[in-house]
Amino acid sequence: MKVREDRTGYTCSTMRREPHRRVSFALREPPFILRDPASILESDISALWMQHALPGSRWRTSAGAEITILSPGIPNIYDGPDFLEAAILIDGSTLDGAIEIHRDPEDWHRHRHDANPLYQNVVLHVCLNPPGTSGKLPAIPLLILNQQIGRRPVREMYQMRARKPEGPACSSCAVAGSPVLSEAALVLAASARFADKRARVDARIEELYAAGESNPEIQSLYELTARSFGYGGNADAMERLAAEAPLDSVLNQCGTDAGKLNAFFTAFARSPNGPDGEHRWRSKSVRPGNRAEKRLRTLAAAVPFLSSMIAAEGRNRFFAAINDAANTGSLDALSAMLPGAGTERLLEYIINVAAPWIAASGNSLRPDEADALAWRMFAGTAPMPENRKTRALAAAFGIAPPLTSLQQQALIALYDAAGTRPAPCRLCFSL
């Protein structure tokens, strides 16, 4: 079990879709207790876990400790714990490891997990029912699902189990056509994609800290902004330019003068120190709007905004603009900060730049504020236009347009994963 302390005090890697909804610890009705081994399967409990354990949701262990879910984990279709690569926040520390699902807490020893080395990295034991009056339990945080989600979700799962199944969609699915499992899988796929984006930003910030960069968070945002403005064809070249011409250096030489900035970026891009080799500018098969000259002008126009982010006042204005976009759909404030970007590019910027950057840096926000804002941006912003990836999988899984941002990001993640692996199951999305 790996325990890590966060450098900035900000630990959440992914956020949940409904930031103001908290899991209730006090039930309004008795839990729906199921002791009959045939009444519900562990795969059903796993479905409940995926549906309710959204990133950022808070729970309590059987001992009363508060837990925040940073990542609910990735379903494991092989031997070992049910979910891998999970992360939880408990008692001020982040635990990275696996999550095991059981109907009853006593199943840990019944299944002889205590003697199996595959289960040594389990950081959370999630069970449907509370423990009995006797029986040895493992020294792992225990979460009783039935005591915290109420009886309705469990009753619906039981009723679904009582129906005759239509046949599994894959060898790992016990029930076909479960809307709970399908929706949960979309949330899980979107969360995994967001966690990957956040991890890459976090790793870059750490690299910049190690290199002695004076403003590593802002430099990382500058590089992400440059990559976003390169679109697909010149994203690598733009990102490399920003890395080799740091924001501090640009400001020292040009300030925020538009003419000087345009001349600087154009000259640097054409110099021997500029992007070359595999990152050389692409113009063939690239639309005129993505030609290097226009992309560089767009980046130059964003430098005053990036410069303002060094101060807390500028960051607060940025957070307000992002909040406005996420809550009302208005892009006016953000467009004023990034004057060269069109509507589609601004939506892409919110989802692929601003959201993971806020999640990684938590800059001048309390962790709970950063949690709510980042996930609302990623999962609740108006989606970007559909592309061949989202159209193909939406049709395959019967998801009717228009897609939400969460659905779109989940489908992109599944498409990318399926590119080198077998096609995903339509229920559990196991790849």
Phi, psi for 354 (deg, rounded to 5): -65, -45
Distance CA 269, CA 180 (A): 51
pLDDT at site 54: 80
pLDDT at site 383: 76
Per-residue confidence of the chain (431 residues) as pLDDT tens digits?
433 333 333 333 333 333 333 333 333 334 444 444 445 677 778 878 877 888 888 899 999 999 999 888 887 766 789 888 899 999 888 999 999 999 889 889 888 898 899 999 999 999 988 888 766 788 899 999 888 887 666 666 665 555 544 433 444 343 334 434 466 677 777 887 888 888 889 899 999 999 999 999 999 999 999 999 987 778 888 898 899 899 999 999 999 999 999 999 888 777 655 555 444 666 655 555 556 778 888 999 999 999 999 998 998 899 889 888 877 888 999 999 999 888 888 988 999 999 889 888 765 555 556 666 777 788 777 777 777 677 767 766 667 778 888 888 888 887 776 554 444 454 444 43
pLDDT at site 160: 56
pTM of the model: 0.60
pLDDT at site 20: 31
pLDDT at site 161: 54
